[in-house]
Copies of this chain bind each other. A is one copy, B any other.
């Protein structure tokens, strides 16, 4: 635990303190609650769950936009321009950044002070990095709970940003209403830069830096992405995946992206997919929690841990029958027979 965190929680406030603060839109208290949600300390976890129970009825009232793209694609510049557009439409905007490299570099996404410098100081904007320690499931859980806290504090537009290089995109697509992939117009090999799986998760692709000498390249990339998308399965939402071009520099195409999201939301609210997807996401998060928990209980049982250690340390190649042995350990754990 770092010093700031330990001094903050030396004197833990009761859940009501946090619940009331968040519902009143107090940003300092919101930030402290998010820190609790991210903590691995058992007392913090307990308190965080009580806070979440206290605010959960006031959540859900936002549009959750996941954004990914490889480093260099211009994510922060895009979010800066796009975020201003969102705020100009009267939204309260929270930007959460999941940074898979934050353990090493102490927060490379938002540690750089020059990132989103205009946006981050605007009224009605809250920018928060999410240290993505631990498993994919852990990242999804902490970020999902952070979304709930932000919604309860009145933020009705949430951007969840991640770098398209690790597995965090999976986590983000698991908690977003809409998943936006930013891409660069490259030199012919449009499909090389990003893992194919990510393209399949995208609800829309936006080609960035479509300005100056780049315009023609961006236009032909748009055509190529569109034909690539045609090869993929139609999205479950029923909404056709769009490819747009934009220039954050010249502020072109930004309003179009906002209009696209608005149209998407109307479309999926009308056909019921919006609620269906959120319920499905919640259910999957629930199963993740359950399965992590089951494994944790099993593997931390002293007898089981001892038996598994013995097998893991085996140096000889004496075969076992995994199914038989696995069943034996399960029966031992549950005290059957």
Interface residues of A (CB under 8 A from B): 49, 52-53, 56-57, 59-60, 141, 144-145, 148, 274-275, 278-279, 282-283, 285-286, 288-291, 293-295, 297-298, 308, 311-312, 314-327, 329-330, 334
Contacts and interface: CB of A to CB of B under 8 A. Distances in A.
A52 B321 contact: yes
B294 A295 contact: yes
Contacts of A317: 60, 274-275, 278-279
Contacts of A318: 57, 60
A303 to B, nearest CB: 14
B295 A291 contact: yes
Copies in the complex: 2
6 contacts: A49-B327, A56-B320, A59-B319, A145-B321, A279-B317, A282-B322
Nearest to A272: B315
Given A60-B318, A145-B323, 18 more contacts: A49-B321, A49-B324, A49-B327, A52-B321, A53-B321, A56-B319, A60-B317, A275-B317, A278-B317, A279-B315, A285-B322, A286-B308, A286-B320, A289-B322, A290-B298, A290-B330, A291-B294, A291-B295
Contacts of A57: 318-319
A324 B315 CA distance: 42
A49 B323 CA distance: 8
A282 B144 contact: no
A302 to B, nearest CB: 16
Q: Which 9 A-B pairs have the closest CB atoms?
A: A289-B326, A285-B322, A286-B322, A275-B317, A52-B321, A290-B326, A59-B319, A294-B294, A293-B330
